[in-house]
Amino acid sequence: MRPRFSDNKLEPIHDKVLSEERLSFDDGKTLYESPDLIGVGYLANIVRERKNENTAYFNINQHIDYTNVCILHARCHFCAFARKDIETEGAWELSVDDFLEKAMYSIEQGCTEIHSVGGHHPNLPFDYYLRLLR
């Protein structure tokens, strides 16, 4: 039985997926722009099951924010907590040691991936970021 997609643009992609044809860039764009999230997920699951049978893989991810100070605070709408500078009320930054302590605690709790996120701090030296990664 053929599935019914709420977005008809998924039909030709469904045919390609079933015939194991490589998807084009335009196919990827269609999938990205499709409002039919269930349909896109259905297509992705066909490929996932073909490649991995009924096995799913996941990781345990921990986001650690190293600062909320960001030079883009007034123009960027990505986060809702950025502060102009370290003197602004509610602003904070983690020392490298504090960041590593949080990372080690997360790993001890079973975390398999650390995601380092934070603002574009105008005063943190490049070496700070290198030390976070070492």
Which residues, 6+ apart, have CB-to-CB distance to 102 below 8 Å? 62, 64, 94
Which residues, 6+ apart, have CB-to-CB distance to 6 below 8 Å? 35, 36, 38, 39
Predicted confidence at residue 23, as pLDDT, reads 98
93 bridge partner residues: 67
Predicted confidence at residue 79, as pLDDT, reads 78
Which residues, 6+ apart, have CB-to-CB distance to 88 below 8 Å? 69
63 bridge partner residues: 115
Domains of the chain, residue spans: 8-52, 61-133
Q: What is the pLDDT of residues 47-66, one digit of tens each?
A: 999 999 998 888 999 999 99
Predicted confidence at residue 28, as pLDDT, reads 98
Continuous segment of H or E residues that includes residue 113: strand 113-117
Overall pTM > 0.75: no
CA atoms within 13 A on the CB side of 45: 7
Predicted confidence at residue 2, as pLDDT, reads 83
How many C-beta atoms lie closer than 10 Å to residue 99's C-beta?
Answer: 21
- CA 19 vs CA 47, 49, 53, 107: distances in Å: 11, 14, 17, 42
**DSSP one-letter code for 35:** S
Q: What is the pLDDT of residues 64-118, one digit of tens each?
A: 999 999 988 888 877 777 888 889 899 999 999 999 999 999 999 999 999 998 8
Type of residue found at 108: E
What's the token pair of residue 129? 């970021």
